Amino acid sequence: MVDPYGSTRRFASLTRVLVTGGAGFIGSHVAQAFVKIGADVVCFDNLQMGKLENVPDGATLVRGDVKDVDQVVRVMRDIDVVIMCHGQVSVPVSTEQPLLDIDINVRGTLNVLEACRKARLERVVFAGSRSEYGEPKCLPVDEEHSVNPNSVYAASKAAASRYCLVYNMLYGLPTVILRLSNVYGPRAPYWARGSYAYLVWFVYLVLKGEPIEIFGDGEQVRDNVWIKDCVEAFVEASKNPMAIGQVFNICTGEGLSLKRVVQKISEQVGKEARIKYAPPRRGDVRQFVGSPEKAGKILDWKPRTTFDEGLRKTISWVKEEIRLGK
């Protein structure tokens, strides 16, 4: 059977992989990919944003919270590799509840890092964010660009990423940071308005015949990466010895404005979208296009799915969700 995630790397069945946030959007796809390549996978999730139905066949769910030190320590027993996909992902929520971001994105990540350090794990891969760069000084953004977050959410992700690098430098914990661009595809939390899943939310609204609210003029540019391409980067980062202590952009190197995204959705759906404009939101980045060059050189990773192809698959999934009344 062809691996839908594209990876040819195989794991021994005795390799135990823990995915924090493993019942969420990105985490569940990561868990599924590791199951398919032969790992023994544990999903650690409190199911507040994640869904039980997202946990892939062949993986074990352990209900728990990264904010609880004792739970984190217990679940770390006999684990070899940790993929950190937990997080509070909504910029508006972080603006209204900044301490929540600190508790989950920073303190929660530190809890996991400390448990990994004590357990002497083989590899720890952290899901960072392109938002850590803030408003880019130039495009495309490479990993040498300064980190200058301009939202509470971005600041929390930047702090967590920095702790990952410090744990590598100070304690020798083999950490890798993947700064993810706007990831889209099946299982994205389109109901969580203000999250990174804006594209899937737009698809849902067009299909339902409801207006799309765009904050600003719609000329904001985003670099959108298909979920299964993104997941392949996690698999490669978990084994490649050259990846340790490194930061990688996981992106396409191509940008689309929000207006253009809406237009493409309308074209594929065959239904005219209605746009309602609202004032710009605090903390939103105007333009982002990343450079995947470093990931290509070191991880041998590149995005393989065109935007039109990924959008077509996303629309099919959202249609099925609507049919099922979700």
- Determine the Cα–Cα distance for residues 149 and 135; give it in Å rounded to an integer: 8
User: Cβ–Cβ contacts within 10 Å for residue 2, how many?
Assistant: 5
Are 219 and 258 in contact by the 8 Å Cβ rule? The answer is yes
- Determine the Cα–Cα distance for residues 326 and 316; give it in Å rounded to an integer: 14
311 φ, ψ to 5°?
Answer: -65, -40
Are 55 and 22 in contact by the 8 Å Cβ rule? The answer is yes
- Determine the Cα–Cα distance for residues 168 and 212; give it in Å rounded to an integer: 43
- Active-site annotation, residues: 153
At 25, the amino acid letter reads F
Long-range Cβ contacts of 302-308 (<8 Å, 24+ apart): 303/225, 303/226, 303/229, 303/251, 303/252, 303/253, 304/6, 304/229, 305/226, 305/228, 305/229, 307/224, 307/252, 307/254, 307/256, 307/264, 308/264, 308/268
